[in-house]
Structure 1
Amino acid sequence: MEPRSVFHTFFDHCVGSWSTERTYHYLTQNDVERSHTDFQVSPLTPDLKRKVLSDNGYDEITDLSALPGFHLAFNTMSEKGEKVSQALNLTFVIQSETGHILEGDYLRDLAYEEARPIISRFRFDSNTRELLMTTNYTRVVSVDSITLINPDTRIRRILNYLRPPAGQPLEKLGLVGFGVEQKVT
């Protein structure tokens, strides 16, 4: 199967309702926390894709059907009783393809760590069906991985590095998260 076909199939399988159990390790605070998240993923309309592109100052793209995109809404409850809810729109723009690897920009109209539109980088391996997303926030660099095991199960890994000075490698972890995500509908 062509890498772009695998990429689009990956996103087709993501549509629906999901439930996830995650464990977060806060390394700077020496704390571990568990949480439960329910989230809904629906395809993004062409108008909302245009809005996400525009919000991020991205050039007009004529073939919007080539861009996988979602509306994502989630509700999280931590074991400490803290609740977080958010809804956002996102889309992916492929910029290069080398063998089984696709790379490009991952655009959101609302970032997770900072309430603003943001452009991140993504890398998709069509052999392993792993989507790796890297976002440079003000204080951290988030490296988020989603691996599609089958159409109903995904494995999630989140690494938040304390943002190093410009030109320095990512070395100091602030948070590590792991989760199993299962489709419920």
Structure 2
Amino acid sequence: MARYTGPKTKIARKFGEAIFGDDKSFEKRNYPPGQHGNNRRRGKKSEYAVQLMEKQKAKYTYGILERQFRNLFEKASRSRGITGEILIQLCESRLDNVVFRMGISPSRSGARQLVSHRHITVNGELVNIPSYSLKAGDVIGVREKSKSLVAIENSLANNSAVFEWLNWNSDTMQGTFVTVPERIQIPENINEQFIVELYSK
């Protein structure tokens, strides 16, 4: 599957925030990339530019390509409720994102790799599709053979984040996707309304 594999700090600097997690390089140079950096005069962005930037930020944050993201938006727009909120909730319900949120991997790209390399189970069955959409009550676990992986052990040991919509049992290395999170519970700094306006043009 095609995915972004370029320099992450450059992307983080473009958006002005560390969207890929802690980044020492970003902290040192938290101004836009490019030859002129801070000195370049940037005029006021157009409405379209602001909306496009927000969509790109969401795509990079969740590691989703354009076609997948567009499909998620269409699914959200067909659902009852606020389209923008449902779009973010669909992104949060992806298996790779939940593996990351549970602390099994320190990054979404790492979580995607764990899923595609068949280290993760859903309701006891092996699932190797990172975009697999979870439902409330689904049980996510680390495959028996993979529980001793150093990368997983280190990630869980260093994870202190707690989310109300997820339960995690470190003894069994299993967690439950209790419910789809409300927008207010999702920590990502994304203005989903701009994305809706962009796709609605």
User: TM-score range, shorter-chain basis?
Assistant: under 0.3
Structure with greater proportional helix content: 2
Normalised to the residue count of structure 1, the TM-score between the two structures is 0.24
Normalised by the size of structure 2, how large is the TM-score?
0.23
Mark the structure with the bigger radius of gyration: 2
More strand by share: 1
